[in-house]
Amino acid sequence: MKSCIVATLGTEAQVITTVTDCLLELKNNISQVYIIHTSTSDGSIKIALDRLKKEIKTYPGYKNIKFDFCPIKLSSGESITDVDSIESGQAGFQLIYRTILDAKRNGFQIFLCISGGRKNLSLFGMSAAQLLFDDNDRLIHLYSSPDFVSSKEMHPRNRFDANLVEIPVLLWSKISPAYLLLNDVVDPLKAIEIYKNIHLEERIENGSVFLLSILSPAEQQVVEWLVISGLTDIEIGKILHISDRTVESHIRSARIKAEDYFQISTINRAGLIALLQPAVIFIKGGKFGENPDV
């Protein structure tokens, strides 16, 4: 599988070359590197960019790799010097998101390195990974020894200089959305809103099945009152004309069943409410009828 690197760059040019070297050492078929960066006419960022551009032109190991420099720009087209505002942060997030999306459209496996640049760029990278990654993609952090960092060398001298650490990503979809719902969505904030709606629909569907098929009618009724009202066992018991012990027993049983059904190790009372609230609201439409004999 052809692979690419998407990496954020700060003031240390060696981050880009080192992560590339490490992935090549692991026999990954790297053919493209996208470098996300801010822009300055002078200073440490420009020094890092100039040094990196010089290195990739002359280093023999990179002759078959294309390096693309991707400056972060505002919607007006203005290049930014730092990611230090809401507008510049959104621009950085959008660039990372679109770069990954385009690479996936072109069939690349993604290695996203979030070691360089501002910490908020790292967070944006993690969010983009959740939205767009599938099981083949990797979010990685580069660990470099203090001695190697201070040396300013562009390539690791030995195996102790640098290592890659894979960061687990909780995917928002088991199937890569780059080929499904988000194929035409280039705004990450809109993509997040779409996924929120999808996630809500999944919670309603799964919760409804649990309430209507897994719980007994008596358990369902108690749980619905608990979720919609947040009342105590005594208060629910008075409404349903049953003892508070019976209410407590039904809730305990529902929690045990929920732990098994949703594959969650422990669900407390508050967790049960949060888990089932969308489904209860959907099923009941905010209304409760007369209570059957329980």
pTM listed for this prediction: 0.65
Three-class SS state of 39: coil
Alpha-carbon distance of 62 to 64, in angstroms, equals 6
| CATH architecture classification, 192-284 | Orthogonal Bundle (1.10)
Phi, psi angles (nearest 5°) of residue 66: -95, 125
pLDDT tens for each residue of 185-194 = 667 777 666 6
Each residue of 84-123: pLDDT tens digit?
888 888 899 999 999 999 999 899 999 999 999 888 888 8
Phi, psi of 26 (to 5 degrees): -85, 10
The set of residues, in sequence order, having a beta carbon less than 8 Å from that of 260 and lying 6+ positions away, is none
Q: Where are the domains of the chain?
A: 3-185, 192-284
The Cα–Cα gap between 210 and 255 comes to 11
- CB count, 10 Å around CB of 142? 20
Find the angle CA(120)-CA(121)-CA(126) to the nearest 5 degrees: 95
- Kind of pairing between the strands at 162-167 and 138-144: antiparallel
Query: What residue type is assigned to position 275 of the chain?
Result: L
Section 229-243 average pLDDT: 92
Fold of 3-185: Rossmann fold (3.40.50)
Query: pLDDT tens digit string along 258-292?
Result: 999 988 888 888 888 888 888 888 887 644 443 33
Q: Which residues contact 151 (CB under 8 A, 6 or more apart)?
A: 157
Give the separation between CA 191 and CA 104, rounded to whole angstroms.
Answer: 16
